[in-house]
A = this chain, B = another copy of it.
Amino acid sequence: MAVNPFGSRLTDAIRSVGTPLCMGIDPHLSMMPKLFGDVSTTASPSTIRAIEDFSMACLEMARGRVAAIKPQAAFFEAQGPDGMHVLARLGRAAIDAGVLVIMDAKRNDIGSTNAAYADAWIGHDAPFPSDALTVNAYLGLDTLDPLLARADQQGAGLFVLTRTSNPGAGDLQDLEIDGAPLFHHLAAGLAPLAAARVGEGGLSSLGIVAGATWPEEARTLRQILPSAPFLVPGFGAQGAGAAQALAGLTSGPDGPEGGLVNSTRGLIFPADAADASSISAWQTAIGDAIEASRTALGNA
């Protein structure tokens, strides 16, 4: 591998396509357009084919329009090993197409087990190929070591779950320690690791997940982690507007950068795509949804 560090490649991608928008690819069976076939039976050949066709069609629409895709591992795992084959092929296809792929698998374990997760998920040559992986650090900062080592070697990135967008996010993340919530302590622990991984363009390859529903907190996190890329879920269907979603990002020469604003349902399951009668009608609906989100982020 001789790729540039993830932080540099992320800035390049955002500037090249002109948006920090990221497309979540979560093949919810209950929302799949009928166009892609019968998904009534878990892990059946028809369901696997529908998920693959749908995911690849989403990737094709993502290319040149968004800065990255973010497949959610859970929806592929739910279809068993054959679903995992689809996820592996999607990651490979994204890399071949020059689209950054963030594997949203939120993996975490201790020591040598995390080295096995690194084998599985980090870098272009992994069985589940990626440019970056989402990870959980509840088990301790030492557990990041094997993941960081692999990411550094592969020019890949990590996004550590720090402040999530769900209603119960605060149960642990907000508990106050010495006058600051837990997630600030986590961010402070990550700060030197992020600062040590800043590439050309000023962005680190070690980032965080910071939910769009908490813009004040995103601004505070940006002070703690000035160079870290923020992966911001919760834009659109999860309820956050563009200004909220961009709160933790930075200002570049052409617009917001310094992270990714993810939208899933708003981009891949817009209302007028559900009953599309042809691929071209579906593509038009997805293209319009992407354009609307790009515009919202650009005008915020």
| Interface residue? A192 (CB, 8 A) | no
**A113 partner, pick from B72, B127, B182, B185, beta carbons under 8 A:** B72
**A77 partner, pick from B128, B139, B176, beta carbons under 8 A:** B128
Interface membership of chain A positions 70-103, coded 1 if the CB is closer than 8 angstroms to chain B and 0 otherwise: 0010110111111111011000000000000000
Q: Contacts A80-B127, A127-B42 given: A117-B169 contact, CB under 8 Å? A: no
C-alpha gap A114/B73 in the complex (Å): 11
| Interface residue? A143 (CB, 8 A) | yes
Closest beta carbon of chain B to A26's beta carbon, Å: 7
A116 touching B168 by the CB < 8 A rule?
A: no
A171 touching B75 by the CB < 8 A rule?
A: no
| Interface residue? A205 (CB, 8 A) | no
Q: Contacts A166-B140, A168-B142, A177-B177 given: A81-B85 contact, CB under 8 Å? A: yes
Chain B residues, Cβ within 8 Å of A26: 113, 116
Closest beta carbon of chain B to A201's beta carbon, Å: 30
Chain B residues, Cβ within 8 Å of A239: none
Interface membership of chain A positions 32-53, coded 1 if the CB is closer than 8 angstroms to chain B and 0 otherwise: 0000000000110000000000
| Interface residue? A106 (CB, 8 A) | yes
B116 touching A75 by the CB < 8 A rule?
A: yes
The count of identical subunits is 2
A109 touching B74 by the CB < 8 A rule?
A: yes
B42 touching A171 by the CB < 8 A rule?
A: no
C-alpha gap A121/B84 in the complex (Å): 13
A165 touching B110 by the CB < 8 A rule?
A: yes
**A175 partner, pick from B42, B79, B119, B182, beta carbons under 8 A:** B182
Chain B residues, Cβ within 8 Å of A173: 138-140
| Interface residue? A170 (CB, 8 A) | yes
| Interface residue? A111 (CB, 8 A) | yes
**A177 partner, pick from B75, B175, B189, beta carbons under 8 A:** B175
| Interface residue? A15 (CB, 8 A) | no
**A74 partner, pick from B87, B107, B166, B169, beta carbons under 8 A:** B107
| Interface residue? A164 (CB, 8 A) | yes
Closest beta carbon of chain B to A286's beta carbon, Å: 20
Chain B residues, Cβ within 8 Å of A110: 164-166
A139 touching B168 by the CB < 8 A rule?
A: yes
| Interface residue? A167 (CB, 8 A) | yes
| Interface residue? A161 (CB, 8 A) | yes
- Using a CB–CB cutoff of 8 Å, the interface residues on chain A facing chain B are 26, 28, 42-43, 72, 74-75, 77-85, 87-88, 106-114, 116-117, 119-121, 127-128, 136-143, 161, 164-173, 175-177, 182, 185-186, 189
Give 3 closest A-B pairs by Cβ, nearest first: A80-B127, A140-B168, A142-B168
